[in-house]
Structure 1
Amino acid sequence: MDVVVHLISGIGGEQDTSFAIVENLLDADADIDELVVVAQSQGIEAVTAGGETEHKVRSLLDAGVSFVACRNTLDTMDLDESDLVDGVDVVPEGAVEVIRLQTEGYAYLRP
């Protein structure tokens, strides 16, 4: 099973919930093949280097979770790829990436 988690909130509690869900999916006895977190809008803060959740992102990257950030959001917030945690990829548009993954059969989760 493939899963995409859509991280669009800048609210700490919602970000914490998103990370907890990802960790639970990794720990569960589920047949997870691919797990992707798409960060967009205020959710981009969660994948920014030096942020409060950098250690969580690094840990999840090490566990095989893929993270992608929305280029449109980076441009809107005047951020560069170098502002992201190492290992976070960039896609042109986060919503389009979520839709693309869903059409490929990924289950969609948005806490």
Structure 2
Amino acid sequence: GGQNLSMGERQLLCFARALVKDPEILVLDEATSSVDPATERRMQRSMQRLMAGRTALVVAHRLSTVVHADHILVLEAGRLVEEGTHTQLLARGGLYGTLYRLQFQAGEVA
């Protein structure tokens, strides 16, 4: 099964599996990239609960996925260019801040 599922449905299924397994280490790679904005907001609330008290590696272009992370690493062309919390990175006004403002203006950041 699964051949008839959309990418968004597949992402939701993978996310549900992670919730059931309750792993110590969680890897999320573009976890919300193929879902609509309303579903993304619901998933983000669930992801915050799922990530609490565990190590999570989150790969995301939608920065709303990582704003509550304890530590954010910003990569550009495969190189580490910034790191810190969401607040620290915004205050520095570097790449993260620029990308966040662009996404916020476009209405992508929750």
* TM bracket, shorter-chain basis: 0.3 to 0.5
Normalization by structure 2: what TM-score?
0.39
Structure with larger Rg: 2
Q: TM-score, normalised by structure 1?
A: 0.39
Bigger relative CO (Cα 8 Å, ≥ 6 apart): 1
